[in-house]
A and B are shown apart, each in its own frame.
Chain A
Amino acid sequence: MDVSQYLEIFIDETKEHLQNLNEQLLILESEPENENTINEIFRAAHSLKGMAGTMGYKRMQKLTHNMENVFSEIRNGKMKVKSELVDVLFRGLDALESYLENIQASADEGTEDNDSIIVDLNNILEEGLGQSMDSPKEEQKEAIEKKPESAGSEDFMKYKKIVLQEHEIHAISKAQEEENVFGITVYIQESCILKAARAFLVFKALEELGDVVVSNPSVQDIEDERFELDFSVVLLTKESMEKVKASILNVSEIKDAAIGYFESTQLKETENSIENAMNEVAATAAATAVKPSNVKETTNGQPQKKTATKPVVNRSVRVDIEKLDVLMNLVSELIIAKNGLVSIGSNEDTSKDSAAFNEQIEYLERVTTNLHESVMKVRMMPIETVVNKFPRMIRDLSKKLDKKMELYMTGEETELDRTVIDEIGDPLQHLIRNAADHGLESNEERIRLGKPEVGSIFLDAYQDGNNVVIEVRDNGGGINVERVRQKAIDKGTITSEQADSMTQKDIIDLLFLPSFSTAEQISDVSGRGVGLDVVKTNIEKLGGDIECKTVLGEGSSFVIRLPLTLAIIQALMVELGDEKYAIPLGSIQTIEDVPCSEIEYVQTKEVINLRGSVIPLIRLDEVLDVEPREEVPESLTVVIVSKGEKLAGLVVDNLIGQLEIVIKSIGKYINNNKVISGAAILGDGEVALIIDANTLV
């Protein structure tokens, strides 16, 4: 049966569970006794296992199963949480994540068994329980063995392990006098999706033949699909063994059924074995988890080939149904507006037309604006989905670098466009690694400087107008500007004369140049020199920009500004010569009319003094090679744009007006120094280029 249709849901939910596990494990590490957390972890691990099993990812299932065993012992209070245990569990989570990545890329989990993690888990389990060497060892052996059925019929005929209650034993021994008592274990195919339904059909078939006295797992659990691929029952019937077996196998998607007489000796045994039954069930479950993997490997070849290159999963967004309702409403309004226009068009009386026409156009405008807003909202996701993996990362870094640090995050609920969310993760991760590795001083150094021993890294996100700002801050040593200056001179990036004339800010900006790393030591955390420049390019690709502020000895902060959306923006249309350009409204501060007489010169560059602040003028016609106007006007129209705190005045010939434009890429064939960030198609079909004010300021 094909499970690919469930793949997207599986991936989404697995991600959620893994994230949840990561978070809860972090809590567990700091509060080992927190019962709620343990329960939450157990639940997440359990659903993960079930889901992986249903989808046929056996290796993943096996690993989660082993992790779940550990959680279950912790939950039962038989084990204490130790830091080695948490380390192994985190390794397990990482392994699960890599399974998930494989699945996302190729619909297949890959061939890594991660046996070492499983062995470690079991060792810890063994130690923690202080048990004799045998039982967990055995479990391991079984887990690694490929074909556990061949090990003996015990594993196959699981009904022998059914735990009986007293009254059931009584009923069975009484029935044995006149009826056959069969123990049956039914195996469902791994590919089966509605296991509960199949089980139900089996039960129905069995009940026609006799009475089902006991079932393992309980009927309730089977109905809720809380079982692996097999279940066992004890059946009282007058029919023969063959007939019972045949009627079970009649139900589709049943792989096999083991049947045998349920003997009275077994009854006694089971009576006594309630204690260790738990262990055994766990062991066999582990065994079944591996068993089908052989089958899977052979059947897998085909889909693997098909999907070798392209990821099998489309990117999906989960959308609140309310948002969709709003969309639906707007679309119906759109239709009404269209009908309004149609009726005007067919109206004979032309005198009233233009007024009614304008009214309809206004209505249409309102609807499309709302529609745009709602579609945007559908595309928005809280930044949380990216940043919530960072606490875990900080924990690992803290151990690796042997520095004490804490991460404080605010504004995780800030929403960003889905495409931005997908791309922002790596740059942020990089900045946080940088802060942890280079930013924060070592523990001793901090104590010596009289700072709190535990370093702090802050990640703040908030909305600022049409932008979202994300700040990564640390209270470490800050950037040594002099060292950067020296390094730049040594590397030949700048000459020493240039260095003298550069401001502190200019020097810091050098850090964003390719292959510029000031770290004296290259560690595997960061400092290979492929750092900040990549961060900067990535962010600029998203239409944002990054800025760095630092105070020596007090820490540094990186401020990222990102546009709220990418596809549709409000822009100011301006005219230069006979060409039209669009300037995104988001970067515009004000528009000023400046008399030519007020232009002043600083270092031969034109500036204006606007209400106390000196703003450099940029002649757009020169930058864009537009034919200059012949007569020199008395005053200039200046569009003041900002990038962070920097301002600049763009001189344009004429203002046309504000327009909502759809940004289109001009393709990668044309390279034009990034001044043009894209193009928009105007109402008359003409193309207007969009000026990226950020690159000019």
Chain B
Amino acid sequence: MADMKKNASAGAKQYICVKLGTEQYGIDIQYVDNIVRMQKITRVPKAQRYFKGVINLRGEIVPVMSLRLKFDLEPDEYNNATRIIIIKLEAQAAVGLIVDEVKEVVTLDESCIEKPTYNASDGKTQYLSGIGKPGEGLISLLNIAEVIIEKENA
């Protein structure tokens, strides 16, 4: 939340626009460390279902989660467009997110962002920080910290 305020004062924010199935999601560019192609993922036994495993990112071990599984969508089908977005939150280790496709970088002005309506019965709204309207179509803006950090009994 503090981050949002900080950026609001700057006016516009940049988001990386990614596709999961038919939906578009926006990831705040300040958390994105890197975008890499799909590579061999080593499965980690007994991990949470949405964690596909770990990859070797230039000598560092980075856990990778599937956004599709996290959001209870159809499991991933890897193809040429599949990418892993490496996220680095402050003071946290890196983590990778598997997405179907990376489309573009969009700049959204504050006026183009609508606050999400909170729906207590739907656990997934907590992953969103707003809805972006770049002109055509809608982008669900992800609250990255919520997505990555495991909640107790989540």
Q: Binary interface profile of B, 64-88, with partner A (CB < 8 Å = 1, else 0)?
A: 0100000000000000000000000
**B55 part of interface (Cβ distance < 8 Å):** yes
Q: Are B45 and A624 in contact (CB under 8 A)?
A: yes
**A240 part of interface (Cβ distance < 8 Å):** no
Residue of A579, A665, A678, A685 near B43 (CB, 8 A) is: A579
A residues within 8 A CB of B55? 687
User: Counting chain A CB atoms within 10 Å of each CB, which of B45, B48, B55, B61 scores highest?
Assistant: B45
- Interface-facing stretch out of A174-182, A294-302, A669-677: A669-677
Interface bin, chain A? 20 to 34
| Residue in chain A with minimal CB distance to B59 | A681
Supposing A687-B54, A687-B61 touch, asked if A667 and B95 sit within 8 A by C-beta, the answer is: yes
A residues within 8 A CB of B150? 669, 671
In the bound assembly, the distance between CA atoms of A516 and B122 in angstroms comes to 39
Supposing A679-B42, A686-B40 touch, asked if A670 and B48 sit within 8 A by C-beta, the answer is: yes
Q: Are A670 and B47 in contact (CB under 8 A)?
A: yes
In the bound assembly, the distance between CA atoms of A1 and B14 in angstroms comes to 46
A residues within 8 A CB of B59? 681
Residue of B45, B56, B60, B62 near A686 (CB, 8 A) is: B56
A residues within 8 A CB of B42? 579, 679, 686-689
**B93 part of interface (Cβ distance < 8 Å):** yes
Q: Which of A647-697 contact B (CB under 8 A)?
A: 664-673, 675-676, 678-679, 681, 685-689
Q: Are A672 and B56 in contact (CB under 8 A)?
A: no
B residues within 8 A CB of A679? 42, 54, 61
Tell me, rounded to whole Å, the shortest Cβ–Cβ distance linking A689 to chain B: 6
B residues within 8 A CB of A524? none
Residue of A667, A678, A685, A686 near B63 (CB, 8 A) is: A667
Residue of A579, A626, A664, A673 near B61 (CB, 8 A) is: A664
Tell me, rounded to whole Å, the shortest Cβ–Cβ distance linking B125 to chain A: 22
**A623 part of interface (Cβ distance < 8 Å):** yes
User: Counting chain B CB atoms within 10 Å of each CB, which of A668, A669, A689 scores highest?
Assistant: A669
B residues within 8 A CB of A672? 44-47
Q: Are B46 and A673 in contact (CB under 8 A)?
A: yes
Supposing A667-B62, A669-B150, A681-B61 touch, asked if A689 and B44 sit within 8 A by C-beta, the answer is: yes
Q: Are B44 and A670 in contact (CB under 8 A)?
A: yes
**B148 part of interface (Cβ distance < 8 Å):** yes
Supposing A667-B63, A686-B56, A687-B56 touch, asked if A675 and B43 sit within 8 A by C-beta, the answer is: no
**A625 part of interface (Cβ distance < 8 Å):** yes
Q: Are A664 and B60 in contact (CB under 8 A)?
A: yes
Q: Are A666 and B48 in contact (CB under 8 A)?
A: no
Q: Binary interface profile of B, 140-154, with partner A (CB < 8 Å = 1, else 0)?
A: 000000001110000
B residues within 8 A CB of A685? 56
Supposing A681-B56, A686-B56 touch, asked if A666 and B61 sit within 8 A by C-beta, the answer is: yes
Tell me, rounded to whole Å, the shortest Cβ–Cβ distance linking B151 to chain A: 12
A residues within 8 A CB of B94? 667
**B15 part of interface (Cβ distance < 8 Å):** no
Q: Binary interface profile of A, 57-84, with partner B (CB < 8 Å = 1, else 0)?
A: 0000000000000000000000000000
A residues within 8 A CB of B61? 664-667, 678-679, 681, 687
Q: Are B54 and A666 in contact (CB under 8 A)?
A: yes
Q: Binary interface profile of A, 621-633, with partner B (CB < 8 Å = 1, else 0)?
A: 0011110000000
In the bound assembly, the distance between CA atoms of A688 and B93 in angstroms comes to 19
Tell me, rounded to whole Å, the shortest Cβ–Cβ distance linking A649 to chain B: 19
Residue of B43, B46, B93 near A667 (CB, 8 A) is: B93
A residues within 8 A CB of B51? 669-670
Residue of B40, B44, B148 near A666 (CB, 8 A) is: B44
A residues within 8 A CB of B149? 669
In the bound assembly, the distance between CA atoms of A624 and B46 in angstroms comes to 7
In the bound assembly, the distance between CA atoms of A678 and B42 in angstroms comes to 12
A residues within 8 A CB of B46? 624-625, 672-673, 675-676
Q: Binary interface profile of B, 17-58, with partner A (CB < 8 Å = 1, else 0)?
A: 000000000000000000000001011111110010011100
B residues within 8 A CB of A681? 56, 59, 61
Tell me, rounded to whole Å, the shortest Cβ–Cβ distance linking B60 to chain A: 7
In the bound assembly, the distance between CA atoms of A670 and B47 in angstroms comes to 6
Tell me, rounded to whole Å, the shortest Cβ–Cβ distance linking B84 to chain A: 14
A residues within 8 A CB of B148? 669
A residues within 8 A CB of B56? 681, 685-687
B residues within 8 A CB of A688? 42
Supposing A681-B56, A686-B40 touch, asked if A676 and B63 sit within 8 A by C-beta, the answer is: no
In the bound assembly, the distance between CA atoms of A626 and B62 in angstroms comes to 21
Tell me, rounded to whole Å, the shortest Cβ–Cβ distance linking B87 to chain A: 10
Q: Binary interface profile of A, 597-636, with partner B (CB < 8 Å = 1, else 0)?
A: 0000000000000000000000000011110000000000
In the bound assembly, the distance between CA atoms of A626 and B48 in angstroms comes to 16
Tell me, rounded to whole Å, the shortest Cβ–Cβ distance linking B21 to chain A: 24
| Residue in chain B with minimal CB distance to A688 | B42
Q: Are B45 and A669 in contact (CB under 8 A)?
A: no
A residues within 8 A CB of B48? 670-671
B residues within 8 A CB of A669? 51, 63, 65, 93, 95, 148-150
| Residue in chain A with minimal CB distance to B65 | A669
A-B contact pairs, 13 of them (CB 8 A): A664-B60, A666-B54, A667-B61, A669-B51, A669-B63, A671-B47, A672-B44, A675-B46, A676-B45, A678-B61, A679-B54, A686-B40, A686-B42
Please list the 7 inter-chain residue pairs (A to B) with the smallest Cβ-Cβ separation, ordered nearest first: A672-B46, A624-B45, A687-B42, A664-B61, A667-B93, A679-B61, A670-B47
Binding site for A on B (CB under 8 A): 40, 42-48, 51, 54-56, 59-63, 65, 93-95, 148-150
- Identify 19 new A-B residue pairs, CB closer than 8 A, beyond the known A626-B45, A675-B46, A686-B42: A666-B61, A667-B63, A667-B93, A667-B94, A669-B95, A669-B150, A670-B54, A671-B47, A671-B150, A672-B46, A672-B47, A676-B46, A679-B54, A681-B56, A681-B59, A687-B54, A687-B55, A687-B61, A689-B44
